[in-house]
């Protein structure tokens, strides 16, 4: 009978699982058990939740092939005893892949964005994992933010602490978006005016060219200013006063940029 286990894994070094949440702790136990068993497992979950990391932890010496590389994958299945198959759900011929796994008696750990199920899938994979997103693992998010900040300090050669004031984790792509966000925020937290202007200049260099670029790109200045002001002063009335704007003018600007400004 198939077993569906709800697990979570850190999307970091495969030898350093984050176990702050109950789900992550269960993941480590389950993965450790799988290292001793000769059964196939299917790991599902959103982008950046740690599917590949967990697979590499289970089969540390196995070849890693993306299912989209169909011919390469079939060749590897004929010549290997163990293999990690990434993104099984993107395979152009998943039935052929599954048949090859069974015909060649290969030990497989596969990943997919969703929990696949059909008779051949169930026959091939005795154990199925669904890794919950980071939005459901708050304890892991806190640890990952700290870890990514430490990596940023090493990368940028700085000893500054990461400022969490006003920091709202971007979990849209789980650990992938969170790491990028931490890295960018760490770099920008002590940025100088000249450096910031150079970044904007480089961004705009290839985008300019129409007859209304001033109006089109004014939001790059206005949106951060309004968002920062609303966060600091908590009131449109106070912010309008600090900016020297009529309150109706500020309201119109907020309405114009409503896709970027909430509230």
pLDDT at 263: 57
If 0-12 CB within 10 Å is exposed, 13-18 middle and 19+ buried, where does residue 101 land? buried
Of these ranges, 3-12, 103-112, 194-203, 234-243, the one predicted with the greatest mean pLDDT is: 103-112
pLDDT at 107: 97
Q: How far, CA to CA in Å, does 57 sit from each of 21, 52, 72, 105, 220?
A: 18, 9, 23, 21, 43
Range 27-48 average pLDDT: 91
pLDDT digits (tens, 9 = 90+) for 53-71: 999 999 999 999 999 999 9
pLDDT higher than 60, residue 13? no
Range 168-195 average pLDDT: 91
Domains, the chain, with CATH or none: 3-132 (3.40.50.300), 138-256 (no CATH)
DSSP 189-245: TT--HHHHHHHHHHHHHTT--STTHHHHHTHHHHHHHHHHHHHHH--HHHHHHHHT-
pLDDT band of residue 116 (cuts 50, 70, 90) is confident
pLDDT band of residue 249 (cuts 50, 70, 90) is very high
pLDDT higher than 50, residue 104? yes
Whether this prediction's pTM lies above 0.85 is answered by no
Classify 107 in phi/psi space as left (phi over 0), alpha (psi -120 to 50) or beta.
Answer: beta
Contact 106, 80 (CB under 8 A): yes
């Amino acid at each position: 009978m198939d077993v569906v286990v709800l697990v979570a894994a850190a999307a970091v070094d495969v030898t350093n699982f984050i176990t702050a949440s109950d789900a992550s702790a269960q993941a480590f136990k389950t993965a450790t058990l799988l290292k001793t068993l000769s059964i196939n497992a299917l790991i599902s979950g959103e982008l950046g939740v740690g599917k590949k990391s967990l697979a590499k932890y289970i089969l540390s010496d196995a070849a890693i092939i993306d299912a989209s590389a169909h011919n390469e994958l079939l060749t590897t299945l004929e010549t290997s005893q163990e293999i990690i198959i990434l993104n099984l759900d993107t395979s152009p011929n998943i039935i052929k892949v599954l048949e090859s796994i069974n015909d060649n008696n290969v030990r497989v750990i596969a990943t997919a964005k969703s929990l696949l199920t059909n008779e051949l899938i169930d026959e091939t994979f005795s154990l199925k994992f669904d890794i919950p997103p980071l939005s459901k693992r708050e304890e892991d998010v806190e640890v990952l933010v700290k870890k990514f900040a430490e990596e940023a300090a090493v990368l940028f050669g700085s000893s500054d602490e990461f400022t969490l004031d006003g920091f709202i984790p971007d979990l849209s792509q789980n650990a992938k978006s969170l790491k990028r966000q931490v890295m960018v925020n760490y770099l920008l937290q002590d940025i100088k005016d000249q450096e910031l202007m150079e970044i904007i200049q480089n961004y705009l260099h290839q985008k300019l060219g129409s007859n209304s670029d001033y109006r089109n790109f004014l939001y790059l200045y206005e949106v951060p200013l309004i968002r920062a002001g609303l966060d600091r002063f908590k009131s449109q009335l106070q912010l309008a006063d600090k900016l020297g704007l009529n309150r109706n003018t500020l309201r119109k600007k907020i309405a114009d940029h409503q896709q970027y400004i909430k509230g």
